């Protein structure tokens, strides 16, 4: 295992081996990898978006029908 190093697991904060032997890297275990995947699948991770002036509340504008 020359060149292998330990990194911090992004899920639990424990040591994770950064080497080809660790098929779950950068996670320390399959459990931590599955917890992270579940968080992504349930939209727990989101990038905050700030609207500019004049932008609505995030909803799409309703289609306006032409006048008859």
Give me the number of domains the chain comprises.
1
- Asked if the model's pLDDT at residue 58 lies above 90, the reply is no
Q: Is residue 32 part of a domain?
A: yes
In a domain, 18, yes or no: yes
* pLDDT tens profile 1-57: 566 799 999 999 999 999 999 999 999 999 999 999 999 899 888 888 886 665 555
Find out whether 14 and 23 touch, Cβ atoms under 8 Å.
Answer: no
67, pLDDT greater than 70: no
- Which range of residues forms the domain containing residue 32? 5-41
pTM (whole model) above 0.85: no
Which residue matches tokens 């899920």? 11
CATH of the domain at 14: 3.30.50.10
* pLDDT given for residue 46 in this prediction: 84
Q: Tell me what pLDDT residue 21 has.
A: 94
- Alpha-helix runs per DSSP H in 13-59: 30-41
């Amino acid at each position: 295992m020359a060149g292998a190093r330990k990194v911090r697991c992004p899920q639990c904060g424990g040591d994770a081996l950064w080497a080809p032997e660790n098929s779950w890297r950068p996670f320390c275990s399959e459990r931590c990898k599955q917890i992270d995947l579940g968080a992504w699948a349930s939209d727990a991770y989101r990038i905050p978006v700030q609207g500019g002036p004049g932008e609505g509340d995030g909803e799409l504008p309703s289609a306006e029908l032409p006048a008859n």
